[in-house]
Structure 1
Amino acid sequence: MLKLYGFDVSNYYNMIKLALALKGIDYEPVMTYPNQTPEYLAISPTGKVPALQTEHGVLVETNVILEYLDEVAPEKPLYPTNPFERAQVKELVKLIELYIELPARRCHTEAFWGVPVDDLTKKEVKRALFNGAQALARAAEFSPYVAGDSLTAADIMLLYTMDLAVPVAKKLFDVDLYEHAPGSKALIAQLKEMPEVQQIEKDKRAAAPAFNAYLKKAFSGK
């Protein structure tokens, strides 16, 4: 059986959880926060989550894991079979991650836990999020899904990216990212109605107190 290392508050971990749920793949969750212990570094070379233990070895990096799952369980595809359309979905996944998720992540500490970020970083993040949302608006179809009429890996990436990027932009910059990517708000609302997504959100809420305690300890250096 597959083993999935990570924790229920992690958006990247939840991307993999949703893909596994949609495909009906059984797995063993292994609750793990990112760490640099020798034991975990032997599993995940960077110490990050998620990490997926397969019968052949371990895979890390969310987009790689999503593509692997599509290869081993193609019955409910997250990527089109047409080579060009498949490449387009991969492109959308990277666009959302590189130009929305990763910039917003630089301000997570201030937006969610009150640990200040310097003004230069915030200026860079504000500009990056504005540009990223507009790029998404140009590249995505939202008819109704990101890449057209079928749910793909790009929708999974968008769901768990906007879940964090939108509040960062609103709280720190008074910017509504949804306004700059028309169609994204309606799609997110649609995705959140899925029972698999609702279960993941329930798991996230249940795990939040332990994660907040973990962060408080990490921020205090004790």
Structure 2
Amino acid sequence: MWRWRPRTAAPTASACSDGGWGGVAGGGGGLPSPSPSGPVTPPALLPPLPRSPRTFRLDQAELQRRFRSLQRRLHPDGFGQSSQAEREFSEQHSALVNEAYDTLRRPLSRGLYLLQLRGVELQTGADSEADPEFLSEIMEINEKLAATDQEDARAELEVHIAAKQEELAKDVAQAFDQDDLQKAKRVLAKMKYFANLEEKVKSKKIPS
């Protein structure tokens, strides 16, 4: 059974061999028994379907429901009177569930993780591979953001950026549906640019 690996760890071929979300889904939906010396196998965040495909598309409501259900069962607050091994088990698995949920709930991080599972990673500083027209668009938005101090103008840019991200998310979903990893890589690189712009808009917002 494939196990969930933190995003900092590169998956091996054997870890990905079942073709499903096994590491996040856990395969059966139950909690593993505490075992400080054994392998860590996080439980289900996705529906417990055998060999459920690692697709980009997922049901966000179901993902959130399963996350909340698991955290109610795994949160360290519920293990205050338990043994040291059980408390450590709770802390470790609760953190893994948090990381899995944080990765899967956002289109960009989910897409990057899917690429990582297939041995494909975005390289930093790969502007030479980007479309010049696209880079020009990003520069224009950056200039508008830097030049404005008006909340209305920033809000307009924020809506524009969100619309672009939604459009790109549809493109990357289609790319994964077609198993076109190079296209998915190109689209995700664009999404990273817009994600950076989103952070810039947030940092310039006037506190209410």
Please give the TM-score of this superposition, normalised by the length of structure 1. Answer: 0.26
Report which of the two has the higher share of strand.
1
Which has more radius of gyration?
2
Higher relative contact order (CA 8 A, sep 6+): 1
Please give the TM-score of this superposition, normalised by the length of structure 2. Answer: 0.27
